[in-house]
Amino acid sequence: MLRERPESGEASAQRRHDELARLVRDARYRYYVLSDPPVPDVEFDAWYRELVALEERFPALRTPGSPTRQVGAPLDGTFPPFEHVEPMLSLDNAFSEEEIREWVDRVRRGLPDGESVRLACELKFDGTAVNCVYRDGALDVSATRGTGAVGETITQQLLAIESVPYRLEDDRPPELVEVRGEVYYPLAAFEQMNSERIERGEVAFMNPRNAASGALRQKDPAKVAERPLALFVHGLGAVAGREFGTHHAFLEWARSAGLPVSDQTVFVDDVDSAWAVIERFTGERHSFGFEVDGVVLKVDDLGQRRVLGATARAPRWAIAYKMPPVEQQTVLRAIEVNVGRTGKATPFAILEPVAVAGVTITKATLHNETQIHLKDVRVGDTVVVRRAGDVIPEVVGAVVPARPPGAASWTMPAACPFCGEPLARPEGEANHFCENVDCPNRVLESLAHLASRGALDIEGLGERTVALLHAAGLLGDLADVFRLPGHRDELAGLEGWGDKRVDNLLAGIAAARTRPLERLLVALNIRHVGSTVAKDLARHLRTLDRLGSAGLEQLAAIDGIGPTIAAGVRAWFDTPRNRELVDDLVALGLRTDTDLAEPAAAEELPLHTSTIVITGTLASFTRDELKHRLERLGAKVAGTVSARTTVVVAGEQPGSKLDKARQLGVPVLDEAAVLLVLEGAALPPRDPPG
């Protein structure tokens, strides 16, 4: 029998290398230029490492065209090219304590015997890299990383970011300084934006990093300004006219010059401490308010850095420890549908179990049919799932090249899987709804919601108890919860229940009767009414009775309530079943008024003639919180400083708004002063113009 000659090791390595090189190049292009990576980072890292390993075994594969010799991606010509004064390198990665220890050993071996090494341990911000060239203290050019040697000029886009100063606060600034940093999209804002897009039936961003790079690469800087992008400065490129001995000294200077620098960076003198910081940052990763995908260790001493040098791709004086990824791939086995308390039908994925950042995921939300079609996710696909902190895991996309033949596009079932009634998609909506108010799953979910903490908070009535009492025929609708005291014997007769458990539940129900109107409103499943809206409604309308009879216009005129919320409220009260429920709840003795203070008339509010601009970071609240609190006092909070601005509130690292305020003679308040204003102090008077 004739046998084919086995391929030589080198030939098969060459073929695999070609394949991996193609995959890596394509992925980089899609990641950097299109902001649409084809695979999650883990997959990319695995390809890249295999490529590096092949080149180590077969050095001939390491041609100048290999992706291991390049950084970033080719440019697509959207923005003018800019040649970085000093190239922007990438970082080598480590995935374990062992690899970190090996790196520290390598660093020590690269330096004279016995020399001590101080390390900076920094968060690895998951955003998009930028280079800012300041000449004589003013921002001259800002550019993306691009190929590493040449980036795209996005100076105006960068200046549209609130925390980026145009002028450095330094009386004797260096002639030239290249400041490197990461532009990121704060998590809460990202989630809010994405959920709005999903509700509107628009394409959702895969993750905050893509959202940041997409937002930053908009041609119109005004569009960039609409996004809450932020910057962290983390490195130094070329510098002339100033010497820095250490990274620490550079960061201190950057901070004092008004550049945004993270206050999380820790300096350590040995590898044990460095590893302890990595573990701490990994444990805290979901609490920073922005996405973090690792920890960067850097040699602090810039002289030592010069001795250690760099490869064509990455410096030897730094390493990125990669945290377990929040995105992973797995197979989508099936799509099922849940029907929630408002009747909204949410498709969710049944997944081949997969560990994502330490937790095994078997289910993930797919949001709605529109998202499934926009993302073209099909049963049988390999999909990317993302689990960020407390947020429900979601399917963010499909790996289309891995699609099995015959995988069909998914459509929402015509009937509700719980009650068989039709599932309908209202005109202009991205979501389907089960309209049957008696749908057993809707009832179960609304009962559990009524008892939950943000609503009436009924102790002893968790999800499982709700299901048990529903199955026992004791809970048919929301009002039945308050009829349970009349069923004491049946409750006591339930398997495993004794008098004590019944007493506890009934005490919980008695307490729930006395909750104020705003909590009851949250419990009622009115579309768009969460705790903030409920408070606004209660504050203005005072009683359930007045709320039930308020007209659309009256509702929409309330501060914080627009036409959509008003329509949701009206539609709820106009449904006869809900009217009956309200009557029942009143008859069962629930409280229907509030203790919230009545809103004062606009002209009685202390700040009703003031226009306030906020800049910088505050310690006691986010800018948004401060905005709401000032608005509650009648102030108008504006985005730009003008001659009509009453005061500017400046936190840490204020932006160019502070300069503008000074130019125009607008009084500036620090955080302590604004706290006094919130407590009733008067605003300072404006200097007379001129």
**Whole-number minimum distance, CB 119 to ligand IVH, in Å?**
13
CA distance 81 to 152: 5
- Which residue number, 179 or 456, has a Cβ lying nearer to ligand IVH? 179
| Site membership for ligand IVH, residue 613 (CB under 6 A) | no
Separation in Å, CA 498 to CA 380, 503, 504: 49, 9, 10
**Whole-number minimum distance, CB 233 to ligand IVH, in Å?**
9
Strands 344-356, 647-650: parallel, antiparallel or unpaired by DSSP?
A: unpaired
Interface pattern 386-425 for ligand IVH (x via CB under 6 A): ----------------------------------------
**Whole-number minimum distance, CB 637 to ligand IVH, in Å?**
32
- Which residue number, 233 or 541, has a Cβ lying nearer to ligand IVH? 233
| Site membership for ligand IVH, residue 315 (CB under 6 A) | yes
- Which residue number, 85 or 400, has a Cβ lying nearer to ligand IVH? 85
| Site membership for ligand IVH, residue 354 (CB under 6 A) | no
**Whole-number minimum distance, CB 388 to ligand IVH, in Å?**
17
Using DSSP, state whether 512 is helix, strand or coil: helix
Please select the residue that binds ligand IVH; options are 297, 302, 319, 320, rule is CB under 6 A: 320
Please select the residue that binds ligand IVH; options are 43, 182, 394, 445, rule is CB under 6 A: 182
Considering only the stretches 100-108, 124-132, 349-357, 518-526, report the one whose residues sit in contact with ligand IVH under the rule CB under 6 A.
124-132
Please select the residue that binds ligand IVH; options are 23, 39, 89, 299, rule is CB under 6 A: 89
Interface pattern 561-600 for ligand IVH (x via CB under 6 A): ----------------------------------------
Q: What residues contact residue 507 under an 8 Å CB cut-off, 6+ apart?
A: 459, 460
Q: Which of 301, 308, 323 is nearest to 97 (CA)?
A: 323
**Whole-number minimum distance, CB 86 to ligand IVH, in Å?**
10
| Site membership for ligand IVH, residue 260 (CB under 6 A) | no
CA distance 319 to 93: 6
Residue by residue, DSSP assigns 119-136 as: EEEEEEE-SEEEEEEEET
Q: What residues contact residue 53 under an 8 Å CB cut-off, 6+ apart?
A: none
Q: Which residue is nearest to ligand IVH (CB)?
A: 129
Contact call for residues 233 and 180 (beta carbons, < 8 A): yes
**Whole-number minimum distance, CB 87 to ligand IVH, in Å?**
9
Of 124, 322, 535, 657, the active-site residue reads 124
- Which residue number, 122 or 445, has a Cβ lying nearer to ligand IVH? 122
Please select the residue that binds ligand IVH; options are 61, 91, 189, 450, rule is CB under 6 A: 91
| Site membership for ligand IVH, residue 251 (CB under 6 A) | no
| Known catalytic membership, residue 124 | yes
Q: Which of 377, 349, 372 is nearest to 361 (CA)?
A: 349
| Site membership for ligand IVH, residue 234 (CB under 6 A) | yes
Please select the residue that binds ligand IVH; options are 17, 28, 84, 124, rule is CB under 6 A: 124
**Whole-number minimum distance, CB 315 to ligand IVH, in Å?**
5
Strands 138-144, 128-135: parallel, antiparallel or unpaired by DSSP?
A: antiparallel
Considering only the stretches 86-94, 208-216, 424-432, 482-490, report the one whose residues sit in contact with ligand IVH under the rule CB under 6 A.
86-94
Site residue total, ligand IVH (CB under 6 A)? 15
CA distance 427 to 404: 34
Separation in Å, CA 356 to CA 39, 324, 364, 387, 389: 15, 8, 12, 7, 11
- Which residue number, 161 or 469, has a Cβ lying nearer to ligand IVH? 161
Which two three-digit tokens encode residue 628?
Answer: 């709401």
Which residue(s) pair with 383 in the sheet? 330, 398
Contact call for residues 89 and 310 (beta carbons, < 8 A): yes
Using DSSP, state whether 448 is helix, strand or coil: helix
**Whole-number minimum distance, CB 81 to ligand IVH, in Å?**
19
- Which residue number, 233 or 479, has a Cβ lying nearer to ligand IVH? 233
Helix 671-678 × helix 623-632 angle, to 10°? 30
Torsion sign (Cα): 602, 608, 611, 612: negative
Which two three-digit tokens encode residue 418?
Answer: 């719980």
Q: Which of 287, 286, 267 is nearest to 277 (CA)?
A: 267
- Which residue number, 82 or 125, has a Cβ lying nearer to ligand IVH? 125
CA distance 219 to 630: 34
**Whole-number minimum distance, CB 430 to ligand IVH, in Å?**
34
Please select the residue that binds ligand IVH; options are 235, 325, 343, 616, rule is CB under 6 A: 235
| Site membership for ligand IVH, residue 186 (CB under 6 A) | no
At 582, the amino acid letter reads: V
Which residue(s) pair with 636 in the sheet? 611
Considering only the stretches 119-127, 164-172, 427-435, 504-512, report the one whose residues sit in contact with ligand IVH under the rule CB under 6 A.
119-127
* Burial (CB count <10 Å: 0-12, 13-18, 19+), residue 496: exposed
Q: What residues contact residue 644 under an 8 Å CB cut-off, 6+ apart?
A: 611
Torsion sign (Cα): 301, 306, 308, 311: positive
Terminal C-alpha separation, the chain: 101
| Site membership for ligand IVH, residue 611 (CB under 6 A) | no
- Which residue number, 165 or 235, has a Cβ lying nearer to ligand IVH? 235
- Which residue number, 122 or 480, has a Cβ lying nearer to ligand IVH? 122
| Site membership for ligand IVH, residue 129 (CB under 6 A) | yes
| Site membership for ligand IVH, residue 28 (CB under 6 A) | no
- Which residue number, 261 or 450, has a Cβ lying nearer to ligand IVH? 261
C-alpha gyration radius of the chain: 30
Length of the chain: 690
Interface with ligand IVH by CB under 6 A: which residues?
89-91, 122-125, 129, 182, 234-235, 296, 315, 318, 320
Active site residues: 124
